[in-house]
Amino acid sequence: DTGVSQDPRHKITKRGQNVTFRCDPISEHNRLYWYRQTLGQGPEFLTYFQNEAQLEKSRLLSDRFSAERPKGSFSTLEIQRTEQGDSAMYLCASSLGSSEAGELFFGEGSRLTVL
Amino acid sequence: AQTVTQSQPEMSVQEAETVTLSCTYDTSENNYYLFWYKQPPSRQMILVIRQEAYKQQNATENRFSVNFQKAAKSFSLKISDSQLGDTAMYFCAFMKPGNTGKLIFGQGTTLQVKP
């Protein structure tokens, strides 16, 4: 499968614990995005990378959240000291900078449940 | 700030019939992009159709077409000859120029196609 892959698909954790999600984009895609989707809502933009540079961060991304894309390939999203409000689906997407505007390829998401 | 509103949380249609999903948005931008994304149950989100605001002609992709009314800030999706595989959540999305991939999504409409 050459699509966007995310790991783990599901994560249950206790409040206060740290969690890390990984995203492997489509190999030739230079752009990578993180979105958060809560139940019954549309995805909300968190951050995006072009190659290894993090170009934009949403105000939704508090100090407890950090995202990296160290070699311009895979990316990690870490949430420290998780809170119940962090429970959501975390979606990763990738695109080629030269592709048609807005054509993002999404992964199946990583669902986080904070108890 | 831009906002996207989908006022129909749920809709249903009989197989082979036509259905229209509504979307309105608010922006002060003159040029932008609009999208419809489809999220099937437990599967990744995929792009259905794209519209560039400066193009007056409504976009079409096989059975999917849009009715773009720029002055009214309305962007509806028409699905013709509905198929069971069209059952999904549909999101309307907005993007400013610059092709950053930063999409602003509506709340979504769950479409059920009935046999």
Chain B hits for A40, Cβ within 8 Å:
9, 107-108
Nearest residue of A to residue B90, measured between CA atoms = A42
Chain B residues whose C-beta sits inside 8 Å of any chain A C-beta: 4, 9, 33, 35, 42-47, 50, 52, 91, 93, 95, 97, 99-108
Q: Cα(A26)–Cα(A10) distance, rounded to whole angstroms?
A: 21
Q: Note the pLDDT of residue B1.
A: 80
Give me the residue from B47, B91, B104 closest to A103, CB to CB. Answer: B47
Residue B97: the pLDDT is 80
Q: How many CA atoms lie within 13 A of A37 on its CB side?
A: 28
> For residue B38, what pLDDT is reported?
97
- Between the alpha carbon of residue B75 and those of residues A67, A96, B49, the distances in Å are 33, 26, 11
The pLDDT value recorded for residue B66 is 97
pLDDT in tens, B55-95: 889 999 999 999 999 999 999 999 999 999 999 999 999 99
Q: Closest approach of chain B CAs to the CA of A85, in angstroms?
A: 18
Q: What is the pLDDT at residue B56?
A: 85
pLDDT (tens place) for every residue of chain A, 115 residues total? 579 999 999 999 999 999 999 999 999 899 999 999 998 899 999 999 999 999 989 988 889 999 999 988 999 999 999 999 999 999 999 998 766 677 899 999 999 999 9
DSSP A9: S
Q: Which two tokens stand for residue A36?
A: 């958060």
- Residue A96 has what pLDDT? 85
Q: What are phi and psi of A22, to 5 degrees?
A: -120, 145
Is B107 within 8 Å of A104 when comparing Cβ atoms?
Answer: no
Digit-coded pLDDT (tens) for B38-55: 999 888 999 999 999 998
**DSSP character for B59?**
P
Phi and psi at B59, nearest 5°, equal -75, 145
Q: What is the pLDDT of residue A97?
A: 74
pLDDT number for residue B96:
87
pLDDT for position A98: 65
Q: Does residue B18 register a pLDDT over 80?
A: yes
Mutation to test the A interface, candidates B55, B90, B100, B110, most A Cβ within 10 Å: B100
Q: Do B101 and A40 touch (CB under 8 A)?
A: no
Name the residue of chain A whose CA is nearest to B10's CA: A40
The closest CB to that of A45, out of B33, B46, B102, belongs to B102
Token match 């046999």: residue?
B115
Cross-chain Cβ contact B33/A101 below 8 Å: yes
B17-27: average pLDDT: 97
pLDDT of residue B99: 62
Q: How far is B4 from chain A (nearest CA, A)?
A: 10
